[in-house]
Structure 1
């Protein structure tokens, strides 16, 4: 059996190195560019001392928040199971399929017989090296039969049941990969045993709580992958034999103990699909030769045929399963929220109870719905009064804001979420509050586009100078020299105010004095000039309209 490994990484650069065996039987490190792949494995869940795990948020965000994929729906393929059972070796065939089918380089995606298998690092041996959870940092864009483009992510996990891992460590990794993936490949050796089913117990309990909340199955596809199947005379290799074996193993009978019957009932009720695939042994060259590099010529033809069938059954466009939670399809951005929420509940000393898992999912589903509703409001308001939009009358702006706000809240309420009103209410209040705060910013930005507002002070002062100058002339003509001199003094003061205001705006000094000048100008504008200017603008518009109409009639 092929065994897998990857050196525990402390940073993304180390995680990006892959391992390959050279012609002399020694390991050779290669960057992603050297191994034929456009990408590398990145450790997104890091195993730390004291049997704890930490989410590498930066690495995860770099993958999921890429501008061209963050709002696309996501398919997550994960593999989990006991250590040294060939999980990484298998995933490299998945990578090969995705790269070659997307690039349309060849119909025979398995490649040439002498081609080395690279991607997620693997090698022979008995010691565990893979730790935490790794994600291939190149998301693959695939087209569904209906034409929609989705993102496919490939995830590898730390092997379970080695001498360094506690039962809790194994359960945490298995739990995270199961709750995040849309297809969880459960990699097991030789047969489906009762202990393999027992590992699903925590998920069936969580599923029972989730089902009570919204009557929606919490998990999508669990794919049992039985490696080194030795009884093809009972159940043949492949999908059909696996389906018959799984049916027999999950069969419920009156003779079974109540606990065994309940486990099987809950497994059926928690997963939308339960599949099984039986794989033959790959050949003794694979399992015993330390210089094996993954060449097809060293792998049994029967195994190669089964690999081709297995990968197609999961990754062919018509078989891709988009990740869903509570019936809602997730985007890459949504997946990030759930990953963060799930990591929080696995930080304690023991395993979280099913209610904690449910609460984390409910919280994340509300965070996701809130984020989408808020994003909708911002996007629609940007169209109306964004930086490139012209000034809009306040009454019209408020009306548009109210319409978009109502639609945004409606979107939040109509999205399927877990937890009911108890969880949704605080996010609804938060959404309403932040929308109102955002509108205040849009209002200020809109006002800043009003040319009259920008130049209100100099326009007001200039108009005052003209009025005072005309008034001085009238008084002079009427032989009221004393009053005329007084008006001339006021004209001089206004001119000084304009000069001082211009100096303050240019230098940024004496801003308090500039603010006082603005206040006085605003008061004069509102009390005396605004109605006059509005009246003149209205009459000018009417005259222009009338003139245009007259020319049309002529």
Structure 2
């Protein structure tokens, strides 16, 4: 006679404490024999399987919820009335181990040692496997342990229930981003779909912020949290885009508090002692999850049988034992990188504002030495902004981010220097040409004035021409580096040339053109066409 196996939770992935290089580490070992006896049994081996996993922080009621799923599945197998699945309201809650208190109850990944068989559609049998996971953020687990367990359960489940207490907030998304990214990297070689995981349900426990509840309330909360707005910064936008890109379906459910009875030591899970709103929520949630649960599929979308799921357990566990897998980072490290990235952006914003203003708009350029001096001041100020921003783990991340920032600023300065040199080179041609033209105008004016017996005026113009010659000589000396540095000779002469052009040469050219236009319009038109800018000619 075959001894009947008592229904209970069994460990399928077990944590083992090992010592490597005088350091204690946790490794996770697949309990192959227990798993094979569960999933390769001839009654279920070839059936398509739905895997429902519950994960989240420790002591948030994961095992408590799974026991209600057990009750419902047991009622389905016995073909009991759907309204009666909760059974005797005074019955103690049994199944996965649970209890009140601050200490975690589950370690590794547990599975119910019975695969349930249901017929969600008449004539089509389907297996259901329930998984309970080690609670996150307990005192004994490090981030690598938490990440590995969460990633494994997400990779193996068709429905991942993420238990959250009190409210769904951005930090929950940040944790989810860390865990799912690790899992996504683990199966990257197999992923053909942009969304590698199947269904995610955010189950918000002890919801008391307003009167909303259930799937409707969860949908509203999730829509508000996941909404991407035009003014949202890159960090928040990328976080939400990442979570959306990981799951084919994301839902939310708001579960009210179970009532004061659960805080008392004598509470054993009796439904009669729970708050009616909590019981009502449970009556809505559990059937919705189990009446037509999605079958677990592989990365190509093919449904998996129980026997095939067993192979995936082995495959995925082996992946995480591979030393080539990327190391996880702590939430603090991830936050520190974001801190440093924001400090870099702040420094770059300061730099851009300052560097755009160092070249005077009127003149359009700076002398080479003046440009070097001012650009160095701007870069020093930007680096001071970075250094002055409070950053987590600055000793670890600071040097790298500062070096990358400095390299980027130097590159920007070189681009600005090139523009400055081009403008300065243009002035090197324009300025002497204007002064020479002004000099010839003066000599022509002197000739005309002498002929008109206006010698005093001619003498004044002659002084001006002498000053222009002096200006040319000083300009040539400056270009030949014969004048000591520090005095902006070229800039002063360039400004004088611009004054001559705008206040003397242009008005005189206008008067001359009016005279030619009156004397011979055709000649005036030809001169105007030759002298017009290229854009005006095309028009």
* TM-score scaled by length of structure 2: 0.56
Q: CA deviation at 1:201?
A: 2.0
> How many residues are matched?
315
Contact 1:211 1:217 in 2 (8 A): no
Change (3 A) 1:147 1:193: same
Change (3 A) 1:214 1:129: closer
Q: Determine the structure 2 residue equivalent to 1:334.
A: 308
Contact 2:115 2:127 in 1 (8 A): yes
Tell me the SS of whatever aligns to 2:239: helix
Question: Separation in 1 of the partners of 2:325 and 2:143?
Answer: 10
Q: CA deviation at 1:92?
A: 0.3
Given the alignment of the two structures, is residue 324 of structure 1 paired with residue 302 of structure 2, yes or no? no
Question: Separation in 2 of the partners of 1:111 and 1:352?
Answer: 48
Question: Separation in 1 of the partners of 2:306 and 2:190?
Answer: 27
Contact 2:76 2:118 in 1 (8 A): no
Which segments of 5 or more consecutive residues in structure 2 lack a partner in the other structure?
18-24, 329-539
Q: Determine the structure 1 residue equivalent to 2:131.
A: 155
Which segments of 5 or more consecutive residues in structure 1 lack a partner in the other structure?
1-30, 355-554
Q: Determine the structure 2 residue equivalent to 1:133.
A: 109
Contact 2:259 2:275 in 1 (8 A): yes
Change (3 A) 1:40 1:32: farther
Q: Determine the structure 2 residue equivalent to 1:217.
A: 195
Q: Deviations over 1:525-552 (max 9, x none)?
A: xxxxxxxxxxxxxxxxxxxxxxxxxxxx
Question: Separation in 1 of the partners of 2:276 and 2:92?
Answer: 16
Q: Deviations over 1:127-170 (max 9, x none)?
A: 12321110001100011326311100011011110110001111
Output aligned runs, 1:349-428, within 5 Å. Answer: 352=326
Given the alignment of the two structures, is residue 345 of structure 1 paired with residue 323 of structure 2, yes or no? no
Given the alignment of the two structures, is residue 291 of structure 1 paired with residue 236 of structure 2, yes or no? no
Question: Separation in 1 of the partners of 2:202 and 2:101?
Answer: 24
Q: CA deviation at 1:349?
A: 6.9
Change (3 A) 1:151 1:352: farther
Output aligned runs, 1:479-494, within 5 Å. Answer: none
Q: Determine the structure 1 residue equivalent to 2:245.
A: 269
Q: Determine the structure 1 residue equivalent to 2:12.
A: 44
Q: Deviations over 1:229-273 (max 9, x none)?
A: 11224xx11000001100111111122221221221122222111
Which of 213, 222, 226 does residue 204 from structure 2 map onto?
226
Contact 1:41 1:137 in 2 (8 A): yes
Q: Deviations over 1:459-507 (max 9, x none)?
A: xxxxxxxxxxxxxxxxxxxxxxxxxxxxxxxxxxxxxxxxxxxxxxxxx
Question: Separation in 1 of the partners of 2:76 and 2:155?
Answer: 28
Question: Separation in 2 of the partners of 1:196 and 1:351?
Answer: 24
Contact 1:346 1:352 in 2 (8 A): no
Q: Determine the structure 1 residue equivalent to 2:400.
A: none
Greater Rg over alpha carbons, structure: 2
Change (3 A) 1:144 1:297: closer
Which of 46, 49, 54 does residue 71 from structure 1 map onto?
46
Which of 274, 277, 302 does residue 302 from structure 1 map onto?
277
Change (3 A) 1:172 1:146: same
Question: Separation in 1 of the partners of 2:151 and 2:4?
Answer: 29
RMSD: 2.3
Contact 1:41 1:136 in 2 (8 A): yes
Output aligned runs, 1:88-99, within 5 Å. Answer: 88-99=63-74
Contact 1:85 1:187 in 2 (8 A): yes
Given the alignment of the two structures, is residue 61 of structure 1 paired with residue 39 of structure 2, yes or no? no
Which of 162, 186, 194 does residue 162 from structure 2 map onto?
186
Q: CA deviation at 1:350?
A: 8.9
Question: Separation in 2 of the partners of 1:198 and 1:185?
Answer: 16
Contact 2:296 2:304 in 1 (8 A): yes
Contact 1:224 1:277 in 2 (8 A): yes
Contact 1:51 1:166 in 2 (8 A): no
Q: Deviations over 1:429-470 (max 9, x none)?
A: xxxxxxxxxxxxxxxxxxxxxxxxxxxxxxxxxxxxxxxxxx
* TM-score scaled by length of structure 1: 0.54
Q: Deviations over 1:212-237 (max 9, x none)?
A: 9623531110000000011224xx11
Contact 2:155 2:183 in 1 (8 A): no
Tell me the SS of whatever aligns to 1:200: helix
Question: Separation in 2 of the partners of 1:133 and 1:193?
Answer: 26
Q: CA deviation at 1:205?
A: 7.1
Tell me the SS of whatever aligns to 1:335: helix
Contact 2:11 2:110 in 1 (8 A): yes
